[in-house]
Amino acid sequence: MIDFDKPEAIQQVQNLVETVAVNMMRPVSRYFDDHEHEIPWDYINFMHQATKAMGGAASMAPTDKKSKDEKKDKRPPIGYQRLVHMVEMLAWGDAGMYLCTPGGMLGSAAVSAAGTPEQKKKFLSKFRGDKPVFDAMAMTEPQAGSDTSAIRATAVLDKETNEWILNGEKIFVTAGHKALIDSDGFIIVWATIDPSAGRAGMRSFVVEAGTPGCTVTKLEYKLGIRVSDTASILLQDCRVPFENILGSPEVEKRTTKGFKGAMATFDATRPIVAAQAIGIARATLELLKEELEKNGVVIRYGLPRQKLTNIEREFIDMEMMLHSAWLLVLKAVWMADNHIHNPREASMSKLRAGDVVVKITQKAIEILGPLGYSRELLLEKWFRDSKITDLYEGTGQINRLVVARNVLGYRGSQLR
């Protein structure tokens, strides 16, 4: 059963990141929005040292191991639950800067979800070094966005050297530059080891920084999350060790076991993206309430709807949307921590949160009018930042399909 009481381990981490969000993120949020691609090293270095000082308690890479407090209290693992509370608070501070947090992001989530014990030890240990390390997920291609079956990047095994040779182009790689250029990190590259096998031939590979043949070719200029780099990456005869493949190298054409293993990453990461959306939406509602109260509008809770003003009704409806989305996130990560299959719940949480945050930020701007539309407040920035949560880690349309397939019992080929 889900326990909604926060364990002390989560509360301690949340207190830390709240201090960071208030004092290190909000004050420079506008500056880094105006100076795209400038790296917030003060924030990065502080977060790296903070997580190390806590012995990994605030690591951005969840682990199967229980903390001392969890063992003492005989609680189940809370790695992903702790993580979404962190992400929600950091996104409340600044969603783009949160994406610059060292210590494990989508790439490490893939290793955690599909890697062997040896791979987890090798790659996740990178985050415990003296310098900040980043990771990234390289999936999207010029011709393959949400349809991962259209990926054309290839991985061919060189039997003489026992290495995989990767070729292809990846675009919209979040934190790709920081993972490959600004730190000794790694990216997870999706590629096919057998194009004729379709999805059954899809695998993911760990490509470490400094690997010859892996080049960052471009940085995108974006609508929102501007402080976070979004890179294009070219793979030209990029050689990685045989053991850097996540999952089995054997292809069974009658099954999509390998593809499903790679896709399991999203069951863990989609609720994390949802938590990012929740943080932006909460920041928006708090600011909106503050501005309304400055103008004499106080939300009167507990009254029948017909006795409320239109603004009061709209504000309360937005709060309900926010809380319902957050409950879906908590359920999804509770299931992940307890090793319960959660693709439906993960997609539900991401779909709902991505939809809710766009509606809330847009409605807040409408309510405040010219003030909301101006740059005097961060509201217009949060509106721009919000849209990415509906796009990456599977668009809203894709997650609707995932939910529908799980509810109705259809395979991907039966419901598109």
- Catalytic residue IDs: 393
Write the burial class of residue 68 (CB in 10 Å: 0-12 exposed, 13-18 middle, 19+ buried). exposed
Measured CA to CA, the distance from residue 5 to residue 282 in angstroms comes to: 20
Cα separation, 333 vs 330, whole angstroms: 5
- Cβ-Cβ contacts under 8 Å for 314 (sequence gap 6 or more): 363, 367
Distance of CA 158 to the CA centre of its chain: 34
What contacts 194, CB < 8 A, 6 or more positions away? 200, 201, 251, 253
Strands 163-174 and 230-241: antiparallel
Q: Closest Cα to residue 154, out of 187, 128, 117, 191?
A: 191
Closest CA to 84 of 332, 361, 342, 402: 332
Question: 415: phi > 0 → left, psi -120 to 50 → alpha, else beta; which?
Answer: beta
CB atoms within 10 A of CB 76: 13
Chain centre distance of CA 26? 20
In 146-303, where does DSSP find H-type helix?
176-180, 257-294
Angle between helix axes 41-53 and 8-20 (nearest 10 degrees) is 160
CA-CA distance, 401 to 263, in Å (whole number)? 14
- Read off the tokens for 53: 């000082």
